[in-house]
Amino acid sequence: MPTDWLQVLEWAAVVGAGFLAGGVNVIVGAGTLVSFPILVLLGMPPLAATIANTIGIVPGSISGAIAYRRELRTHASAVRVLLPASALGAIAGASLLLHFSAEVFARVIPWLIGIGTLLVIAGPTIRRRFMRTRSDALGEPLRPSGDRPFPTRMATVTSLSAAFLLGVYGGYFSAAQGILLIALLGITSLLHMQELNAIKNLTVAVVNIIAASIFIIVSPEMISWSTVALIAAGSTLGGLVGGRLARRLSAGVFRMFVVIVGAATVIAMTMNS
């Protein structure tokens, strides 16, 4: 096959990866496990791939958050509590990524992908158990008001700590950050699943924006702007489509795809190391 056609196929694969990442992020919350492995399998170094991916999926994250603007307006008090902690964590996580060598990141990344893939598999079980535990602890589930997203002061502190730590993780490598956030807030807050998904989408968007800004300011020479543009185009459309489908579509198919791609990438990177 001519080289030009191979290049076109690679571009199409990157746009497709961005589209799937944008949709999966809105519906499941693990889109990085789709787009990042595809970039690596196409030959990008892991560190460059994660930076390009983080910047490229920002438009998709924003479009996903916009799709849930009604829920976010209703629970603005929860957003005001959690977002600053997530933002601070993102600064710390992105800074850690840039201060570690590319070799360290290449050694760590298969483990992060493996953990993220396991979280995707366990996500529904984690949510069900957390929701059951919360119901047993509180009795009849309470309907949150806009001014009372958390039942106790301890729940608020725990939620803040979780938002910060997951912001650090997201700034470093964002895979399955959303799944963890939904699972933890599922027990510490009074929010229902669609409301948790709304806050997850906004939080992930902010973490990605901050991490992307740090990468652009501190290490612009490490950014492949052509790759970023392709991922951004795909993720924007994927986020819009995912936002429309998130309330109606089962996440099972997306979850299965994420698991297959994540497992294949761990195997490939382990064999090549």
Percent of the chain with pLDDT over 70: 75
Delimit the domains of the chain by residue range. 3-272
Question: Would you state the pLDDT for residue 124?
Answer: 64
CB atoms within 10 A of CB 248: 6
Which pLDDT band holds residue 206 (cuts at 50, 70, 90)? very high
Average pLDDT over residues 220-242: 88
The two three-digit tokens of residue 183, written as one number: 């699972």
- Give 144-198 pLDDT, tens digit per residue: 445 577 877 888 888 899 899 889 888 887 766 777 787 778 777 777 777 888 8
- Give 257-270 pLDDT, tens digit per residue: 667 766 766 776 67
The reported pTM is 0.75
The two three-digit tokens of residue 99, written as one number: 């201060």
